[in-house]
Chains A and B, each alone.
Chain A
Amino acid sequence: DTGVSQDPRHKITKRGQNVTFRCDPISEHNRLYWYRQTLGQGPEFLTYFQNEAQLEKSRLLSDRFSAERPKGSFSTLEIQRTEQGDSAMYLCASSFDTFNSPLHFGNGTRLTVT
């Protein structure tokens, strides 16, 4: 079990640029989640996938955000035309699709928009 891995760990970008993050979930898990965490807050739900299907998106996920999970394996989260308010830690998690299954999180990608 290699755990959930995220890449990159840190990303610094200028306002207006596009960024893409990658998440590799635990291979046996069929659910994949993206969360955002800002300083002093708990993680906030953004979106989730059941296999390759994106089944729910939070209102936090503006039109500038898009997520994909081709073939139900790894996932990418892209932010277009970044804004300073996008600066946060972006966390990916995976789990089995049973009610008592915990989410297993990656180490996150810390985005800083200058």
Chain B
Amino acid sequence: AQKITQTQPGMFVQEKEAVTLDCTYDTSDPSYGLFWYKQPSSGEMIFLIYQGSYDQQNATEGRYSLNFQKARKSANLVISASQLGDSAMYFCAMRDNSNSGYALNFGKGTSLLVTP
């Protein structure tokens, strides 16, 4: 069974600094996809970035980038130039071919607080 682990329950970062949110995963399937979502206090889940297991380069999307280390089975999210609006819960999720209907399996999340 696949598993997503986010070991940081809470993180603080000062505005304009970069922050790394950790995610490790476990799967025996060579084909898998990793997703990061942001959940502000209002509750909606916002898709941020995707990394496929066969992608040669680390994914980037604006201020978001993925530090994908396949051998270590880690897919850490890097947020550069943090903004106050980045304060939210962040969830790492994975899909492999064992997931019914390509459903995502989520970690427990990391709470990020950006301070002025």
C-beta contact mask, B43-57 vs A, less than 8 Å → 1, else 0? 111110010100000
Bound Cα distance A95, B105 (Å): 15
C-beta contact mask, B27-42 vs A, less than 8 Å → 1, else 0? 0000101010100001
B68 within 8 A of A: no
A110 within 8 A of B: yes
Bound Cα distance A100, B94 (Å): 11
Instruction: Give min CB distance, B34 to chain A, whole Å.
Output: 10
Known contacts A102-B35, A107-B44, A110-B43: A48-B50 contact under CB 8 Å: no
Pick from B33, B42, B93, B107: contact of A100, CB below 8 A. B33
B104 within 8 A of A: yes
On whether the beta carbons of B44 and A48 are closer than 8 Å, the reply is no
Q: Which residues of chain A are near B45, meaning CB under 8 Å?
A: 43, 91, 93, 103, 105
Bound Cα distance A105, B93 (Å): 14
A69 within 8 A of B: no
B18 within 8 A of A: no
Q: Which B residue's beta carbon lies closest to that of A109?
A: B43
On whether the beta carbons of A44 and B101 are closer than 8 Å, the reply is no
Most buried by A among B44, B46, B91, B95: B44
Pick from B47, B91, B103: contact of A42, CB below 8 A. B91
On whether the beta carbons of A56 and B100 are closer than 8 Å, the reply is yes
Pick from A42, A98, A108: contact of B43, CB below 8 A. A108
On whether the beta carbons of A95 and B102 are closer than 8 Å, the reply is yes
Pick from B46, B91, B102: contact of A99, CB below 8 A. B102
Question: Lowest 8 CB-CB distances: which A-B pairs, in order?
Answer: A42-B106, A56-B100, A105-B45, A102-B47, A48-B101, A45-B103, A107-B44, A108-B43
- Ordered by A's residue number, 8 sampled pairs between the chains whose C-beta atoms are within 8 Å are A43-B91, A43-B106, A45-B105, A48-B100, A48-B103, A56-B101, A103-B35, A107-B44
Additional A-B contact list (4), CB under 8 Å, known A42-B109, A56-B101, A100-B33: A33-B101, A106-B44, A107-B42, A107-B44
